[in-house]
Structure 1
Amino acid sequence: MINQFIWVIFPYLCVAIFIVGHIFRFKYDQFSWTAKSSEFIEKKQLMWGSILFHLGIIPVIFGHIVGLGVPAEWLSAIGVNDHMYHIGAVYIGSIFGIVTLIGMFLLTARRITKENVRRLSSASDILVNLLLLAIVFMGCVATLWTNATTPEFDYRQTISVWFRGLLIFKPDAALMTHVPWTFKAHIILGLFITSIWPFTRLVHVWSVPLNYFSRSYIIYRKHKTN
């Protein structure tokens, strides 16, 4: 029953909260839809942490999409064998994962140790930073340590199949039974942050200012005084 709740009910519950929460916040609380920048308080650590985090997280997300969403058979059909995939997922993925972890560590340390930044931060801001740090850390542990100590485990035959089952509403909780605890912790933390996403500063991810590139120029005219 616990296995069924964690790997079937809990994921759908988190996604439901994610969708409904975003709709509710956008409709009733648009003025708080912001990243609440604290750049004017401290800039150097924010700059390096933000650069490293975003430089790493984009390839990491792309790697998750491929690893979870694309069946191994499909990759083999286009010439990507298990060895090639292993090199990309473990070695290249680990590099970007560590870059993301360093960036997230700098951002979290800044938010907690810089007094003025901490005063400006809400409880949800600190929670999000700690959760993201934990998620990235567990992802690195699962990739580096678990793959080294449990080389026979293949997440593409367990976690990936379970994930695609969720997408087509045919989840199989049994697939997650023998998954190493590091991967399970990484997934559960990821699902949890998905559920609180609409109620935190993470909503700014969806506010990409694409109209910035096409908007009209702002013309400034000097005011002539007598």
Structure 2
Amino acid sequence: MNLLHNFFFNVYPYICLSVFLMGSLARFDRDQYTWKSDSSQLLRKGQLRWGSNLFHLGILFLFFGHSVGLLTPHWVYEPFITPAHKQLVAVVAGGVAGAVCFVGLTLLLHRRIFDPRIRLTSHRTDLLILVVLWCQLVLGLVTLPFSLGHSDGTVMLALSEWAQRIVTFRPDANGLIPLDWPYKVHLVLGMTIFLLFPFSRLVHVWSGFGTLAYVLRPYQVVRSRRIGLPHGSRSTR
């Protein structure tokens, strides 16, 4: 058990991050025409609209919430909020966002599985990644009662300490040993999503973040160029 614990929480994160970064780069370099999210909006548009909007709204909140919550050092927020209060805020906000995301993803998964036309046009990886995301959301919601049972904030501190040590290349997973099993499975499955990322339609997320660079780019100056025409002639379009 100690060997498995050490592998999954000290070694496996770097395997997943390496495949995530290098695989995304290789996918963009070799298969740019597959760098997209296949659309099926002509079929059952109403369910797609509700499912997609709810899913993306919830998943974006969860992604940035997890990133800020796990990677922000304790000393940054300590003057303003205690670990116990921070954990309570994370449970409430994460619970609401997780429920919204769960409803949206369930609609999308139901649409993919039970509509014969959409199922025939769906890749197996599309269904796989939706199922993995759905299981990850369920596990995340399962951890909420466990977090309420540890209202002193120790769980939040242990998870943050582990995540910050991973990104600073000082892995130490000893603090995760006392945690309940839903947290550990949730972490492993979350890292596995990064491992599957380059091989699925999730790569289109990079394009979404790429639009931020487009919005912030400087204006392009375009000047008109007048071309002299012979006397009596006129320009045509």
User: What's the TM-score bracket when you normalise by the shorter of the two chains?
Assistant: 0.7 to 0.9
Other-structure match for 1:115: 116
Distance 1:46 1:4 in 2: 41
Q: State the distance in 1 between where 2:127 and 2:192 align.
A: 15
* Partners of 1:25 and 1:104 in 2: CA distance: 25
Match of 1:220 in 2: none
**Comparing 204-213 and 56-65, the one that deviates more:** 204-213
Alignment size in residue pairs: 213
1: CA distance between counterparts of 2:83 and 2:189? 28
Counting only pairs closer than 5 Å after superposition, residues 56-205 of structure 1 correspond to structure 2 as 56-77=58-79, 79-143=80-144, 145-151=145-151, 154-205=154-205
| Aligned twin of 2:17 | 15
Tell me if structure 2 keeps the 8 A contact 1:14–1:192. Answer: yes
Q: CA deviation at 1:59?
A: 1.8
AA paired with 1:94? G
Partner of residue 224, structure 1: none
- What does the per-residue CA deviation read over 1:184-226, in whole Å, with 9 as the maximum and x for residues that have no partner? 11111111110010011001111137359989xxxxxxxxxxx
**Greater CA drift, 180-189 or 148-157:** 148-157
Q: Indicate the percent of aligned positions where both proteins have the same amino acid.
A: 33
**Match for 1:171: what amino acid?**
P
Alignment partners' CA distance in 2, 1:136 and 1:107 = 14
CA distance in structure 2 between the partners assigned to 1:43 and 1:10 by the alignment: 39
CA contact (8 A) 1:72 1:156 kept: no
Task: Report the alpha carbon displacement of residue 92 of structure 1 after superposing the two structures with TM.
Answer: 2.2
2:78 aligned counterpart, secondary structure? helix
Question: Aligned AA for 2:186?
Answer: H
Q: CA deviation at 1:43?
A: 0.8
- The alpha-carbon deviation at position 28 of structure 1 amounts to 0.8
CA contact 2:47–2:111 (8 Å) conserved in 1:
yes
Match of 2:231 in 1: none
Give the 3-state SS of the residue equivalent to 1:158 in structure 2. Answer: helix
Any unmatched runs of 5+ in structure 1?
216-226
CA distance in 2, matches of 1:71, 1:104: 32
User: Scaled by the length of structure 2, what TM-score is found?
Assistant: 0.83
Letter matched to residue 141 of structure 2: C
- Structure 1 counterpart of 2:126, one-letter code: D
Letter in 2 for 1:206: W
* Contact 1:71–1:156 (Cα < 8 Å) also in 2: no
Sort the Cα spacing of 1:155 and 1:37 in 2 relative to 1 into closer, same or farther, 3 A: same
Residues 84 and 151 in structure 2, CA contact (< 8 A), matched pair in contact too: no
Letter in 2 for 1:160: S
Distance in structure 2 (CA, Å) of the matches to 1:192 and 1:83: 29
Instruction: Select 2:42's aligned residue among 40, 44, 62.
Output: 40
- TM superposition score normalised by structure 1: 0.87
